[in-house]
Amino acid sequence: GESVGLHLPTLSVQEGDNSIINCAYSNSASDYFIWYKQESGKGPQFIIDIRSNMDKRQGQRVTVLLNKTVKHLSLQIAATQPGDSAVYFCADGSNTGNQFYFGTGTSLTVIP
Amino acid sequence: DAGITQSPRHKVTETGTPVTLRCHQTENHRYMYWYRQDPGHGLRLIHYSYGVKDTDKGEVSDGYSVSRSKTEDFLLTLESATSSQTSVYFCAISTQRGDTQYFGPGTRLTVL
């Protein structure tokens, strides 16, 4: 089946620093990508998405970059805060497919 | 959690017993999904629905059945629970295929 992987299983950053979480995908047909945040004991929460006709999209303190050439996307969190501590995972899908494929996630810990 | 509730939130049951999990949405979204989340795996799709009485299998559907008699409710049934079905189950919804999926809070199921 399809696989969506994350390069690092854990990431620790100092409060106030920027965080970068990476993700690789394998399906060339994927044209829609989502980043989710999951806090302990809760359901995944939508953060930001990007479609394949874009290479960058910005939200509030978050930016997603997409490199279709190498099938890689990243999530950048500016001025990381303790409340950002969670597991982050990416998902990829397409309008022609019936499901998204999810990575196992990167656990982000923010050190006060 | 985008108007999605799941019940029960926690359940402990014994091997061989039937179990039904319920997902209820107030968003009137057409698509509904059931996933399971296990350590070392990304979210894996069990079944999904694309309308009332319209359902299809996901990648890990063996041992599970679903029903959708109303737009707002999507039921997941484990016909005869096994220990391998111990997991956290998430329901998700989306407006259309390939669109952003929003998740419920999850149900933690333990099969003894």
Residues of B in contact with A36 (CB under 8 A): 103
DSSP letters of A35-65? Answer: EEEE-TTS--EEEEEEETT-SEEE-SSEEEE
The amino acid present at B1, given as its one-letter code, is: D
Average pLDDT score, chain A: 89
Task: Tell me phi and psi for residue B49, to 5 degrees.
Answer: -130, 140
Greatest CA separation found in chain B? 37
* pLDDT per position as a tens digit, B11-55: 999 999 999 999 999 999 999 999 999 988 889 999 999 999 999
Q: Which pLDDT score is estimated for B49?
A: 96
The sign of the dihedral angle between the CA atoms of B48, B50, B51, B57 is: negative
* Averaged pLDDT for residues A65-85: 96
Give the lowest-confidence range in A35-39, A88-92, B37-41. B37-41
Q: Would you call B58 and A99 a contact, using CB atoms and an 8 Å cutoff?
A: yes
Q: Which residue of A has its CA nearest to B43?
A: A102
Angle at B51 between CA B53 and CA B70, to 5 degrees: 65
* pLDDT per position as a tens digit, B50-104: 999 999 999 999 999 999 999 999 999 999 999 999 999 999 999 988 889 999 9
Residues of B in contact with A43 (CB under 8 A): 1, 4, 90, 103-106
Of residues A55 and A9, more confidence is placed in A55
Among the partner-chain residues B33, B42, B45, the one whose CB lies closest to the CB of A89 is: B42
Among the partner-chain residues A32, A93, A104, the one whose CB lies closest to the CB of B41 is: A104
Q: Which pLDDT score is estimated for B40?
A: 80
Q: Which pLDDT score is estimated for B27?
A: 95
